[in-house]
């Protein structure tokens, strides 16, 4: 089977070669950030924003990669994408299309993750063929 990418576990630093792991995002945190973004928009949106107010904009929630055994929060109901379904750049395209239907995607750093799927990064490594 073709593999272009492998997740890099943020617990142990190892690559998730066995696919017993996933990318995940904390859904409760996503809900909090979404709420905070709506509040920010209501207060500051729709016009020029000065730098102090701009810096108050809520930070995106970070997607994380872990082996199942290394996930510090594996008991919670987080949104997870199985490593075995994230082996190619086309897999990321497919997931991006799927996730664009979620109204919370902008609350996360999926955009950075896509960059990592193209170039490699701390959560995704490119596999040389
Ligand atoms: Zn690990």
- Ligand 1 centroid, distance to 7 Cα (angstroms): 10
- Ligand 1 centroid, distance to 16 Cα (angstroms): 7
- Ligand 1 centroid, distance to 6 Cα (angstroms): 12
- Ligand 1 centroid, distance to 84 Cα (angstroms): 15
Domain ranges of the chain: 5-29+62-126
- Ligand 1 centroid, distance to 93 Cα (angstroms): 25
- Residue 6 CB: number of other CB atoms within 10 A? 21
Spell out where 26-101 has E strands: 64-67, 79-82
The pLDDT score that the predictor gives to residue 31 is 94
How do the pLDDT tens digits run along the chain, 129 residues long? 789 999 999 999 999 999 999 999 999 999 999 999 999 999 988 788 889 988 999 999 999 999 999 998 876 779 999 999 999 999 999 999 999 999 999 999 999 999 999 999 999 999 986
Using alpha carbons, select from 76, 117, 75 the residue that is nearest to residue 99: 117
């Amino acid at each position: 089977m073709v593999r272009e990418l492998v997740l890099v576990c943020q617990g142990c630093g190892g690559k998730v070669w066995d696919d017993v792991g996933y990318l995940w995002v904390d859904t409760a945190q996503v809900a909090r950030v979404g709420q905070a973004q709506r509040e920010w928009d209501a207060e500051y949106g729709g016009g020029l924003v000065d730098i102090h107010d701009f810096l108050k904009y809520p930070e995106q929630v970070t997607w994380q990669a872990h082996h199942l055994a290394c996930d510090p929060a594996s008991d919670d109901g987080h949104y997870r994408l199985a490593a075995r379904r994230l082996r190619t750049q086309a897999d990321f395209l497919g997931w991006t299309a799927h996730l664009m239907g979620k109204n919370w995607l902008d609350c996360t750093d999926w955009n950075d993750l896509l960059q990592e799927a193209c170039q490699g990064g701390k959560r995704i490594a490119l596999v040389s063929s």
